[in-house]
Structure 1
Amino acid sequence: MNIITFGTFDVFHVGHIHILERAAELGDKLIVGVSSDKLNIAKKGRAPVYCEEDRLKIISSLKCVDEVFVENSLELKAQYIKDFNADVLVMGNDWSGKFDHFSDLCQVVYFPRTPSISTTEIIEVVKRIK
């Protein structure tokens, strides 16, 4: 079974590891779409801390990840699911319900986020320390 997930994976932390490892346990192959720098700016109104190339390198170096690609558009998620022949889409539960419309293409699973950690919070803490 092919599992697919998407994320920015900026300021990589243990919460990212948890969701990727749990996603990998659902199938034989874990495919990860990493948001492009341009997409991240459009989504979040800021550039990622780590550039696209570095984030791709970080994710591709994980033993639980089998394939990585650049996600250039939120509107292409259905196409990515089809292109990679995904059986399951995994997302964090902060997105609960928002991807249910893909259930005609694959199973959609939402995993609980790791408590007390988020990239946004880490960035805010670092800003205050400066």
Structure 2
Amino acid sequence: MATTQVPYSDLVANGNLAEPAGTTLVVAPTDNLQISDALPEQTVLRVVNTGVEQDITIKAGDNPPALAAGQGDLVVTVAATTGVQFIGPFESGRFLQSDGSMLIEAETADGTITAFQIPRYT
């Protein structure tokens, strides 16, 4: 199974971020979208749909480290044509894979996905 990497677009504390283009969706189950070295609690996804209504699936993680993976996948429906959905933030305990990534599946390749990383204040 092939994976397409979705890089983080870092939101800037007390600053701004120009709108990123996003990564083109790929069709599951042949391909997956992957966020490597994911920080689920600091991750918000923006899905822009340019085709028919479709479901975006955030895959449940591996146990361990995702002790709540038994709750299953999260499936969000994105409206047709100009549908935009913001999804997240997420729980590590449900969505983190054993390799430290998050996996996402799309029904069609019509659209883009952007992974925003929320800054963490210390």
TM-score by length of 1: 0.28
**Higher-RCO chain (CA-CA 8 Å, sequence separation at least 6):** 2
Question: Which structure has the highest strand share of the two?
Answer: 2
Question: Which structure has the highest helix share of the two?
Answer: 1
